[in-house]
Amino acid sequence: MTTAATTPWILGLTGGIGSGKSAAAERFVELGVHLVDADQAARWVVEPGRPALASIVEHFGPAVLQADGQLDRAALRQLIFTDPAQRKWLEQLLHPLIGQEIFSYLAKGRSPYAVYVSPLLIESGQYRKTQRVLVIDVPQTLQVARTLARDHTSAEQVQAILQAQLPREERLHHADDVVVNDGDLGHLHAQIDRLHNFYLTLRGGQP
């Protein structure tokens, strides 16, 4: 058997804020699919003992560490908040490492395909490293209502995030598959289950 037969193909899962990416991701995990999201990978690369954390401490000083040796994210955020050059330095350090972390983790999956969840899959260009793109789509009124209910944030804040994200039509333009998450969770799960069965028939993400 060749390695190609055992390395999963990658499904990129994306959607706007509050569209239901996490809810969809949970269902894939329940179905036994290997999955990682962008936030998880961003945390892993700065765990104690990882080279990125050492570089950050060397650059910003030990004040960015908590007493237990973990990165003090709030302290670091404070340091880069008002300093675009420092923010850029940090991004240039972390972005490639996070990318490597994501795709090496996905490659270890034992399921026929693996899922990468990112709100910025299209914007970041990372969709090019996936074999197929699934967009979770939802009417904007529902998107805003669900985000408000989840985050207890202001309507203005949600609008600001929406403005910063890719317009819905552009995201849909990149989709191979679309799930419209405008029903209840049971309806979402049924759609994911159906896609899962379809994905199991694919080789390398293609029919």
Across the strands, what pairs with 35? 115
Three-state DSSP at 108 gives: coil
For 112, list phi and psi in degrees, rounded to 5.
Answer: -60, -30
Closest CB 106 distance from ligand ADP, rounded Å: 19
Contacting residue, 20, 115, 133, 191, with ligand ADP by CB under 6 A: 20
User: Do the strands 113-117 and 9-14 form a parallel or antiparallel pair, or are they unpaired?
Assistant: parallel
The CA distance from 195 to 73, in Å, is: 37
Any idea which residue has 């209840």 for tokens?
184
- Tell me, residue by residue from 22 to 51, as one string, x for binding to ligand ADP by CB under 6 A and - for no binding: xx----------------------------
Tell whether residue 155 is a contact of ligand ADP (CB under 6 A).
no
Contacting residue, 21, 132, 168, 196, with ligand ADP by CB under 6 A: 21
Closest CB 51 distance from ligand ADP, rounded Å: 30
- Tell me, residue by residue from 168 to 207, as one string, x for binding to ligand ADP by CB under 6 A and - for no binding: -------------x-xxx--x-------------------
Footprint of ligand ADP on 92-151 (CB under 6 A): 146, 150
Closest CB 155 distance from ligand ADP, rounded Å: 15
Q: What are the Cα distances from residue 22, in Å, to 29, 40, 94, 206?
A: 10, 12, 23, 24
Judged by CB under 6 A, how many residues of this single chain contact ligand ADP?
A: 15
Structure tokens at 95: 């972005």
Closest CB 130 distance from ligand ADP, rounded Å: 17
Across the strands, what pairs with 133? 12
The CA distance from 104 to 34, in Å, is: 12
Residues that bind ligand ADP (CB under 6 A): 15, 17-23, 146, 150, 181, 183-185, 188
